[in-house]
Amino acid sequence: MTHSPAAELLAAPPFGVERTTKQAALTAALRALTSLHRAACEPYARAVHVMHPGGEIGALADVPYLPVSVFKTHTLRSVAEADVFKVLTSSGTTGQVPSRIYLDRETATRQTKALSTIMQAVLGPQRLPMIMVDTKSVFANRQSFSARGAGLLGMANFGRDHFYALDDQMQLDEPGLRAFLDKYNGKPILIFGFTFMVWLYFREAAARMGADLSQATLVHSGGWKKLIEQAVDNPRFKATLRAGTGLQRVFNFYGMVEQVGSVFLECEQGVLHTPAFADVIARDVRTLEPVVGREGVLQVLSALPTSYPGHSLLTEDLGTVLGEDDCACGRKGTYFSVRGRIARSEIRGCSDTHAPVRGAA
Amino acid sequence: MIVEQVVPTRGPLELEPLLERLSTQRFTPFDPLLVEFVDALSKALMAGPREYPEIIALGYWARRASIATYQRDLEALASERVRLVPRGLAFHVPPANVDTIFMYSWLLSLLVGNANLIRLSSRESPQVELVCEKLGQLLNEARFAAVAASVAIVRYGHDDAITARISGRCDLRVVWGGDGTVAALRAFPLHPTARELSFGDKFSFSAIGTAAYLEATPELQRTLAERFFNDAMWFDQAGCSSPRLVVFVGAEGPRASRRFFEAFEQVIEAKQHRVDDGHAMAKLVFSFQAALDGRIKEQHRLSSELSTLVVTTLEDFSRDHPGAGLFFVAHLERLDELVPFVTKRDQTLGHFGLAREELGALVRALAGRGVDRLVPVGQALTFNRYWDGYDLLQELTRKVYLE
């Protein structure tokens, strides 16, 4: 049994620990996790040795990080194969290699607890009737646990009497939704879905059938890439839902399969908050030095993972750290915003001519 | 079957009449009209704009004096009994993203009298557009009407039927690009009398003699850094001749390496060369992957533009590379330690501070295992008739025996 060095932070109210206490405790926890993974995961030890030589960890910014995409190319585990309880894979777009995240029971349990601490801070302790903006067929294949399936199951814990609103063709089950809404007429309900699913398959159909969601709370996540292509940002997302269905309480969260449980939830001010056991650093894309108040590439830190070296990850997302402890919503912790991915441009080169010379016209 | 012609005029075109037009047009090698055309093109390319140094370099290569050298070289290949004639219609498949490299082989092909059909990638680049624009202007001048009749630059989608038809009709197919492209095109049979020149995936590197380098004056070290910049950065290290590995040969390798890359970083700064954020991040990820694998023992990130990865050994060296300013570094005591490392994929060795005898001994010891060119640092991208083991003047012509 591996205890997280961050037990104290995990037990604390997630948005109630002020800066000095949090920084000291989290730095100590991540320093201990770095040592743990160096001892238990050989490739990780090599990478830290080469990429972060010297390595005294005096502050959060000193914690060595791995680029999040190395979980796609490398098997990174800090527990024996026999102790792996579950392997999470990112769904990813077609043709992309998925990330593989190895969880033992302790890490999985810790993630579940952490997520519930955060969600309860927003939803309260009561489990509400819940609409899942997805299809049950996501769970058809139990062997491969996609991030979407894992995310849905993780969130299902926070509600009861679950209603899956979409069929296999991603069509809204209108009679089903009507029956559900009639049953809980006027009472608070919870809705969860991935951002693009809510936008593409739920928003319009729900508005068209005249669904009244004024008593609902929507929690959504999963990235804005597909929506940005349609010029939909967070304010427009919220405004459209409110106009169409009366939905008022909408919370986005930022998280990734490589750090499940460690989610950053949007507050009433529209910014994302770090809980006590996690933090975010924005790094200048060119110098990789930490920056506050201007955009950088986001590094996410979490005290949760002991079974794989994912406690400090450099993402490919751009965002801005806006402040710490002083958000108007009253929550403690670093708060920040996310803008999107670093643009991927193609490189010129002799090789790789017109890639598919053959193939369909 | 319809293709989209870009040069000499823009617009959709029926393939069959186009092939007919190209097949009837013939010149003799270095016909004065061809020489005049290439000279005019050279002047047009060198007129700028300056932002694309590789286009200026292409213009410089095509200047009259250099063309005269090629003409003399070709004449030297002929004799009383052996006459050189064009092959006929050449079909060029250039790489998608090195914008100008293919221009060299087709200009040579044009000069020796072939008709040329060039298939551009569907991806547009400002460099290619600029070259095509200048070509179009010249070819539409009345004096070059006969040249215009022998050239077509086209684009078409992924249409196997068109590729098959051109392949069956041409006398020479010149394929640049990755091994995948070469393999894909091999599926389309050529006419029995036709042949193919293929330029597959290549890897290039530089070798620096540490003794000579450390003795060199700071001025020479700076000049060398500027030359190395041209070798490596013009094509963001993605050209087949762009160095991706620097081997330091001799004592005090780490000291020579440190000074070499510091001088290089200063040139990068002075030229305000920028790598975009996506590539900088891709390089960082690549460095972490190499470190996780245990393939490197040190990483130095001098800037967003320049990283070096010191390899533990050249044994089982992986030639994967992300481009855009990342250099593997290896330290050797002697140049001939390269022999077991070299493979068929290796093309250009840029050298500094190594004796000609040493380099000659390496070529002998390699005995064809790989390395097609050994040129001084600064000339990695300088095109000449000898490329990838071919003598292009010979390959682009046929020999007629006359007794």
E strand spans, B210-361: 243-249, 296-301, 307-311, 326-332, 346-352
Residue spans of alpha helices (H) in chain A: 7-11, 19-40, 42-51, 70-73, 105-123, 147-156, 174-183, 195-197, 203-208, 225-228, 234-245
Let me know: does A88 contact A101? Beta carbons within 8 Å.
yes
Nearest CA to B264 among B298, B299, B223?
Answer: B223
Tell me phi and psi for residue A121, to 5 degrees: -65, -25
Nearest CA to A245 among A331, A165, A345?
Answer: A165
pLDDT given for residue B176 in this prediction: 87
Q: Which residue has the tokens 């750090």?
A: A259
pTM beyond cutoff 0.80: yes
Interface residues from chain A to B (CB-CB < 8 Å): 43-44, 46-47, 49-51, 53, 66-67, 69-70, 73-74, 76, 285-288, 297, 314, 316, 342-361
The DSSP code sequence of B225-263 is HHHHHHHHHTTTT-STTSEEEEEEESTTHHHHHHHHHHH
Indicate yes or no: CB of B99 within 8 angstroms of CB of A361: no
Is the CB of residue B318 less than 8 Å away from at least one CB of chain A?
no
pLDDT given for residue A1 in this prediction: 45
CA atoms lying within 13 Å on the CB side of residue B160: 9
**Cα(B177)–Cα(A191) distance, integer angstroms:** 51
Is the CB of residue B298 less than 8 Å away from at least one CB of chain A?
yes
**What pLDDT, in 10s, does the model give residues B224-275?**
999 999 999 988 898 889 999 999 999 999 999 999 999 999 999 999 999 9
Q: Along chain A (361 residues), what's the average pLDDT of each consecutive run of 10 residues? A: 70 93 95 97 97 90 96 96 89 69 94 90 89 86 65 87 92 94 92 92 92 93 80 89 93 90 90 96 96 97 97 96 95 93 65 33 24
pLDDT given for residue A345 in this prediction: 61
**What pLDDT, in 10s, does the model give residues B331-346?**
999 999 999 999 999 9
Q: What is the mean pLDDT of residues B11-21?
A: 95
Q: What is the mean pLDDT of residues B358-371?
A: 96
Let me know: does B139 contact B10? Beta carbons within 8 Å.
no
Token output for A296: 């950088």
Tell me phi and psi for residue B269, to 5 degrees: -65, -45
Let me know: does B245 contact B329? Beta carbons within 8 Å.
yes
Let me know: does A23 contact A274? Beta carbons within 8 Å.
no
Let me know: does B174 contact B90? Beta carbons within 8 Å.
yes
Q: Which residue has the tokens 């087949």?
A: B240
Element (H, E) at B271: none
Q: Is the pLDDT of residue B97 over 90?
A: no
**Cα(A166)–Cα(A135) distance, integer angstroms:** 5
pLDDT given for residue B125 in this prediction: 82
Is the CB of residue B325 less than 8 Å away from at least one CB of chain A?
no
- The sign of the CA dihedral B27, B33, B37, B38 is positive
Nearest CA of chain B to the CA of A132: how many Å? 35
**Cα(B174)–Cα(A275) distance, integer angstroms:** 60
User: Of B281, B305, B320, B347, which to mutate for an interface test with A (greatest number of A Cβ within 10 Å)?
Assistant: B281
Residue spans of alpha helices (H) in B47-120: 53-61, 64-77, 101-111
**Cα(B365)–Cα(B385) distance, integer angstroms:** 24
CA atoms lying within 13 Å on the CB side of residue A100: 11
**Cα(B254)–Cα(B331) distance, integer angstroms:** 8
Q: Which chain B positions have a beta carbon within 8 Å of A357's beta carbon?
A: 93, 158, 163, 181, 184-185
Q: Is the pLDDT of residue B72 over 50?
A: yes
Nearest CA of chain A to the CA of B310: how many Å? 10
- The sign of the CA dihedral A7, A13, A14, A19 is negative
**What pLDDT, in 10s, does the model give residues B104-161?**
989 999 999 999 999 998 778 888 889 999 999 999 999 999 999 999 999 998 899 9
The DSSP code sequence of A314-360 is EEEEEEEEEEES--TT---SEEEEEEEEPPP-PPP-SS--SS-SSS-
Amino acid sitting at position B344: K
Let me know: does B107 contact B38? Beta carbons within 8 Å.
yes
Q: Which chain A positions have a beta carbon within 8 Å of B294's beta carbon?
A: 43, 46
Mean pLDDT of the residues in chain B: 94
CA atoms lying within 13 Å on the CB side of residue B250: 17
The DSSP code sequence of A52-105 is S-S----SGGGS--EETTHHHHS---SS-GGG--EEEE---STTSPPPEEEE-H
**Cα(A214)–Cα(A333) distance, integer angstroms:** 30
pLDDT given for residue A142 in this prediction: 58
Strand partners, B248: B208, B331
**Cα(B144)–Cα(B4) distance, integer angstroms:** 22
Q: Which chain B positions have a beta carbon within 8 Å of A295's beta carbon?
A: none
How many A-B residue pairs are in contact by the CB < 8 A criterion? 157
